[in-house]
Structure 1
Amino acid sequence: MTEGAYAFEEIQTFQEFLALEDEWNDLLDGSLADLPFLRHEWFRIWWSQFGVQHRLAIILGRRGRKVCFAAPLMERSRRMMGLPLTCLQSLTNDHSCRFDLLVREGEESALERFCGYLARRPRPWDLLLLQDVAEDSPVLPGLIRAARNAGYRAEADHAYTCPYLPLGGSWADYWSGLKPKFRSNIRNRSTRVVLRGPLDFRVASDPEQVAAALAVGIELEQRSWKGNAGSAIASDPSVAAFYTQWMQVAADRGWARLSLLTVGSEPAAFDCGLRYRDRFYSVKIGYDPEFAPYSVGQLLKRELLQRLFAEGVREYDFLGEINDSKRDWLPRTREHEWIFVYGRGILPRLHYAYKFQLRPRVKALLKRAGK
C-alpha cells in the first residue's frame, strides 16, 4: 500500500520477519532510537518465546527499496476496562525493558504516512498500544503529532520512572558526591563481608563465560524472594529460554556483560548487563538472600560502576522502576509511558472517554474531597 513517497507492507509471518534481519538492523543503525531492545535478534527471540499465540503485524515503510520505517507490532484481542478491543500492540511484555518505533534519521515524514496506512489497513483495529516508551524518545513527539493530525485521539499515559546515571567525569568525584551515610554503609559492609571470605568481582563477556555466569545468576535469583513469588527467570521455561538465548546472541555480538560477586567460593550477587554503543544496560540483577545483610548487590554495583567509569561508558541505565536501592546512587530519572492511539468506532471512543476524560475527573474530585 502506497502512502506518499512510501510503500507500506505488513509482515504477518515469522518466516517473513526472519528474512529481514540485515535490512532491519541497517535501519536501526541509522534510526533516531538505537536501542539493543529494538534489534532484529531481540524481537526474533522474543516472538519465539512469548508471541506465538498472537498474530504478527509488523508494519514496514520503504522509500524505493530502502526500509525507512518499522513498527514492531502484533495484533491481539484484549479486554480493557471491560471492553473487547482489537489491539495493534508493541512486541513487548514485562521483559522488554524499553520500546520505540524505528524511523531512519531524516525520514520523520514516514510517521505521517504510517498513520495514513493505519486508516486504510485492510484488517480493522481499535487501539494502537505502545508500551514502555521513554519520555525522551526522539520519535514520540512526532508520532503523537502525526496521529492527531490524522484525526486520531492520541495520548501518553505515565507507566513508571526509570533511573539512570550519566558517567561523565571521574569515579572519585562521583563517589565522593554520594551521601556520606551511604558511603559509610558500603565501607562497613565491605569490612564485615570479608570475614565470610575474600571478595572477588569478575565480568564475563566471552560467550562460554557468559553462559556459565548466567546459569549461576539464574540460580541465585531463584533463591531470592522472586523464586518464592514465582517471578524468577527459572520459574518459567519460556522466560529462561528467552534470557539464555538473548544473552548468548549478545555475547556473540560482543555486548554481553555478566558481572558476578563472590564471597570466598560462594556466588553472592550478579548483574546481567549489556554494553551497547556507549551505554550500559542493567537487564537483570539478583543476590543470594544469605548475603543480604552485607548489601552484596550494592557492593557489586560499586565495583561495576567504577569499572564503567574507567572504560569511558557514557551512561549506566538501571532499567525498570526506581526503588530505594537505586536512589542510593543519586541517579537522574527518565519517565516511561504507554502510548494510546485510538481507532475509529464506538469501542475506542468509549475507552478513550473513560480512561482519559472521566477517570481523571473522578480522581481529581476524590482528591479534593479528601482534602
Structure 2
Amino acid sequence: MSVAVKLQPEELRVEVVEGRDGFVQLEKAWNAALGAGPHDEPMLRHEWMRAYIENFAPGATLRTFVARAGREIAAAVPLIETRERSADTCFVPMTTWALPVNDHSQRGGLLLGRGWQAGLDLIWERLQQEAGWDRLRLRDLPGGAPDWRLRELAEKAGHPCGLWVSLRSPYLALPKKYADVEAALEGKFRQNLRRRKRRLAELGQVKYELTEGDEALADFFDIEASGWKGRDGTAIAQRPELVGFYTQIARDAAKRKALALGILRLKDKPIAAHLSVVHAQRHYLIKIGYDESLHEHSPGQQLVSEAIRDSCERGLREFDFLGPCMDWKLDWESELRTHTWLTIFRPTQKGRLVHAARFTAWPVLRALFKKEH
C-alpha cells in the first residue's frame, strides 16, 4: 500500500556566487529560468554574458547574486566590480558594481525566472547588506521591462537613482507577408529600393543566403572591416576581444539553431552581410556590413530587405534593429524602443553628493551652456 506524501516547496534563498568558474556552473539552470520568465532575450542568456565576461572582463571581480529554491533560479544579478575616478563619478573615487554590459551587448537586463518578484526582492535586501559598492549600474534597460522593479525597490529604501537615456532603437512589427512591409514604406524609399535592386541585378546574379560556420563568419568580419570601420580602426577584426566575443555568441547561437548569418552575394562574391540571432519569434540584427564600392546600389538596404523577407516567411513577430537610431533604420520603421542606464547610489554622503552633481547640477549646467552658445 502506497502513502501519498505532500512535499513542501523549498524555501527561496539568496547566494553570492563568486568568480567566473562559479558563474559557468549556472548555465543550465540560468537558461531554463530565462525561458520561463517574463523577459526572454538572447543577450540575457548565460552564453551571451559569459562571452562578455571572458572577452571584456576576464580578470575582473565578478559576483553573481542568485535567488533560488532548490535548483530553480527565480532571479539572478551578475555584477562586475570597477573602481574609478573620472568625469562620470565627478572625479570622486567610487566603486561600481555593474551588469556585464557594454555597447556590443546591445541591451541589458537581469535574469528573471518564475517567482522573479520575490527573488528580486531578496537579492535587493542582500545587496543593501553587502559592503564594498558605492553605486550599482544597470546599462541599457529597455523601457517597460520588469527589470525596472529594482529601481522601485531602491527608491523605496532611500537610495538615490540616476537615469540616462542611452539608445532609441527602431523595431518593426512583422506582418505575415513581406509585400505588406514594402507597401507600408515611404514611397520614395520603396521606389529607390526596387530601382537599385534591378540595377544591382544588371551587374550579375544576386543571391541571399543564410549560412553558418567559421568560414561564413570570417566573410562577415572581412566585409565589416572593408569600409569606414576598417579605416577608423573600429572593425571587429581589428580587435581580438571583439573577434572573441562575436565568435562566441555566433557559435553558441548556431548550436541551438538560432544563428541567422546572412550574406548577399554578387556573382558569388560577398558584398554585404549581417550577423543576427533569431530568438523567441524575433529577429535581432546585431551587426551589418557591406562593400562600400557598391554604395550607389545600397547593398546594405538590399540585405536588410532580404532579412526582413526571410523573417516574414519564418512567421516571426518582430524585426529588432537594435543599437542607436539611424536614418537607414528609420527608412523601415519609425517605432522606437527606449533604453536607459539606471544608476543606484548608496545613500551615503559621497553617494548623494555624486548623484546630485551628476544627475541634477550637471544637466542644468549643460543646458545653460547650450542655450548661451
Q: Residue 95 in 1 paired to residue 104 in 2?
A: yes
Check the 8 A contact 1:32/1:102 in 2, yes or no: no
Structure 1 position 11, deviation (Å): 1.6
Residue in structure 2 matched with residue 194 of structure 1 by the alignment: 201
Structure 1 position 368, deviation (Å): 5.7
Check the 8 A contact 2:17/2:66 in 1, yes or no: yes
Q: Residue 343 in 1 paired to residue 346 in 2?
A: yes
Residue in structure 1 matched with residue 5 of structure 2 by the alignment: none
Residue in structure 1 matched with residue 190 of structure 2 by the alignment: 183
Unaligned runs of at least 5 residues, structure 1 = none
Q: Residue 277 in 1 paired to residue 284 in 2?
A: no
Structure 1 position 318, deviation (Å): 0.5
Residue in structure 2 matched with residue 126 of structure 1 by the alignment: 134
CA shift digits 1:73-109 (9 cap, x unpaired): 1111122331221001010122111111112243313
- Correspondent of 2:72 among 66, 75, 79: 66
Structure 1 position 327, deviation (Å): 0.8
Q: How does 1:124-203 map to 2 (within 5 A)?
A: 124-140=132-148, 142-203=149-210
Residue in structure 2 matched with residue 260 of structure 1 by the alignment: 263
CA shift digits 1:196-250 (9 cap, x unpaired): 221111111xxxx332221101001111100111111101111101111221111
- Correspondent of 1:27 among 28, 33, 38: 33
Residue in structure 2 matched with residue 217 of structure 1 by the alignment: 220
Check the 8 A contact 2:285/2:322 in 1, yes or no: yes
> Counterpart of 2:233 in structure 1: which amino acid?
G
Structure 1 position 346, deviation (Å): 2.8
TM-score, normalised on structure 1? 0.93
Check the 8 A contact 1:115/1:150 in 2, yes or no: no
C-alpha distance in 1 between matches for 2:51 and 2:62: 14
Of the structure 1 ranges 225-234 and 97-106, higher mean CA displacement relative to structure 2 is found in 97-106
Q: Residue 75 in 1 paired to residue 100 in 2?
A: no
> Counterpart of 1:257 in structure 2: which amino acid?
A
Aligned residue for 1:125, secondary structure, equals coil
Unaligned runs of at least 5 residues, structure 2 = 1-10
- Correspondent of 1:51 among 57, 60, 72: 57
C-alpha distance in 2 between matches for 1:11 and 1:291: 51
RMSD (Å) for aligned C-alpha atoms = 1.7
Of the structure 1 ranges 24-33 and 108-117, higher mean CA displacement relative to structure 2 is found in 108-117
Residue in structure 2 matched with residue 310 of structure 1 by the alignment: 313
Check the 8 A contact 1:152/1:341 in 2, yes or no: yes
Residue in structure 2 matched with residue 12 of structure 1 by the alignment: 18
> Counterpart of 1:91 in structure 2: which amino acid?
P
Structure 1 position 65, deviation (Å): 4.5
Q: Percent identity?
A: 33
C-alpha distance in 2 between matches for 1:59 and 1:103: 12
